[in-house]
Each structure stands twice: as C-alpha cells, then as structure tokens.
Amino acid sequence: MNSQMTDKTPSPRVLVFACRWCALVGADAAGRGKAELPASFRLIPVECASMVEPDSVLRAFASGADGVAVMGCHLGGCRFNDANHVAVKRMEALGDLLDTVGIGRRRLLLSFGTAHEGRQFAEVLEAFFRELAPLSSLAAWQKPLLNQPSFR
C-alpha cells in the first residue's frame, strides 16, 4: 500500500463501521498478524452491520471522510437472524443517494467476512484505499458540523 502512495498524494481518510462479531475480530487478527494497513482509517465497532444508519455514513462524509466502509459477517452467517441483509438493502439505497448528490457510491464499501479472515480484512481495506485514491476531493461537501470535531 505505502509503495503506491507518494508523499505528494495524501492517503484517503476512511471510516470503517465494523461488526464486532466478525469484521472487528478480523481487523484485530490483521493487526496481530502484522498486516500492512493504512494509517488513515478509523474503526468504529458496531453490534451488527445492519445497525449502521445512513445518517451516520452521511455525517462521516460531512466530517471529512473520503470513504466509508461497512463491514459485517458473511451473508447467512449473521448471529442476528440474517440482519446483515438489512445492511445490504440500506447501503444499496444509500449508494443511489450518494450518486444523486454527487458524492458517488464508489466512496461507500459494503463487505462481508468472518472473524478468521484477518488477511481478507487487510486486502479489502487496501483495495478500497486504491479505489479512493484517484477520486476528486469532497471538500465542497465537507463543512464541519457546529460543535463537532472534524474527522482527522
């Protein structure tokens, strides 16, 4: 990852909403396995990918994120009775909205994996960073919310 990013090209800032039962454990495994991960992502644990509201994604973009990833358990493997299918429908609809307002659905990643896939977590995140790198700035959309710190 670092070899493809130059000092002149800032790394995209990414907010990751990670299911605590799969993606969060996978992220931990990637870290323990010393996988090369970008420094400019922040991870927020959530109980389930289905609990990520579109409002939270939009706030992330408004606060300075260049991309948002929602990472959950494999479809059919959710401990909450396939609640991650809700995440699929919700994020597909949000992708349509992002395209409509000019942010673009390419800045939203929905990914599914298991807790045992630390390497997959790192590879998915790296691929997302590579996709975000050539995209234009979202500066026009990123006005800090009153009394809210910017994403840094």
pLDDT tens for 39-95 read: 899 999 999 999 999 999 999 998 889 999 999 988 888 888 888 888 999 999 999
Phi, psi angle pair for 73, to nearest 5°:
-75, 160
Nearest to 73 by CA among 125, 35, 111: 111
Which residues make Cβ contacts (< 8 Å) with residue 111, sequence separation at least 6?
23, 69, 70, 71, 72, 124
Read off the pLDDT of each residue in 98-122 and give the average, rounded to a whole number.
90
122 domain-assigned: yes
Residue 39 lies in a domain: yes
d(CA 83, CA 95): 19
Residue 144 in domain: no
* pTM, entire model: 0.84
CA–CA gap between residue 150 and residue 35 (Å, rounded):
28
3-state DSSP assignment of residue 108:
strand
The reply to whether 149 falls in a domain is no
Domain presence at residue 147: no
Is residue 9 assigned to a domain?
A: no
Name the band, by pLDDT with cuts 50, 70 and 90, for residue 6.
Answer: very low
Task: Let me know if residue 88 belongs to a domain.
Answer: yes
Q: How confident is the model at residue 146 (pLDDT cuts 50, 70, 90)?
A: very low
Q: Domain range spanning residue 37?
A: 19-133
For residue 33, how many other CB atoms are within 10 A of its CB?
11
| Residue 127 in domain | yes
State the average pLDDT for the chain: 86
Q: Up-side HSE of residue 54: CA atoms within 13 Å toward CB? A: 13
Task: Report the domain count for the chain.
Answer: 1
What is the percent of the chain where pLDDT is above 90? 56
